[in-house]
Structure 1
């Protein structure tokens, strides 16, 4: 019986070794699969981080372009408003000149009604105020346009 027991014990050890080897082999396969999965995830993570950085740079480029375009649009809007204002002023001056030249007017100061006009207002170019009123008036009495200069005119009759 001693031999049978020894034989059984030996078989039992072999079976345990085989089971242990099979368990170790299965665990090693699973461990290797998990390591490969971790490596894939690390590569994917790296690729995603690179893409995020690329998108951040692209975002900044688009933001700068939008700000530049907005500044250009504002500048163009301002220029357009200035041109429209200037065009309006020119049209107003032209209408005023046309109305002044189309009718015969008395040769008296349009501000005080006294002396003969001798001061030419600029930029509307109305010869409409006397020497006494020239330095006092701020708006042309004919077209109500603010003047930015005046010229004393010596008229010879």
Structure 2
């Protein structure tokens, strides 16, 4: 009897580069990026979707890559923190993180930046959060709203006030 095939051929667009790979069907997107493609911007923190260190943008939406099977992202456009900016200048969110001193050790920073970009897009689209007062209008990105929307991204160094300042700076620009 023939053995079942437990692998899949995938094509991913990662930070603007088309990548083809064959992975075990149980491989997470995070492991496919880091171990198969050498993309190290997303970090493996908890491997349970609780810390946000692995947050990336998949087709423009933020996602914890440790909870996503790579096969589910076949054909997707993936943006990591390394794929932001234009090669000459940092993305405005990354620049704001630098300017506002919104990191200490930096381990969570790539996930924080990707999450912040995705969060701003969600807010612009009118998606409410738990603390949004008026569900009929676009949410105002005050500090409470930003904190709530970023609550899935943890920082062991506790740089939260500066992270909020950096995000608010971009939101107001």
TM-score, structure 2 normalization: 0.20
TM-score, structure 1 normalization: 0.22
Larger Rg: 1
Higher relative contact order (CA 8 A, sep 6+): 2
Higher relative strand content: 2
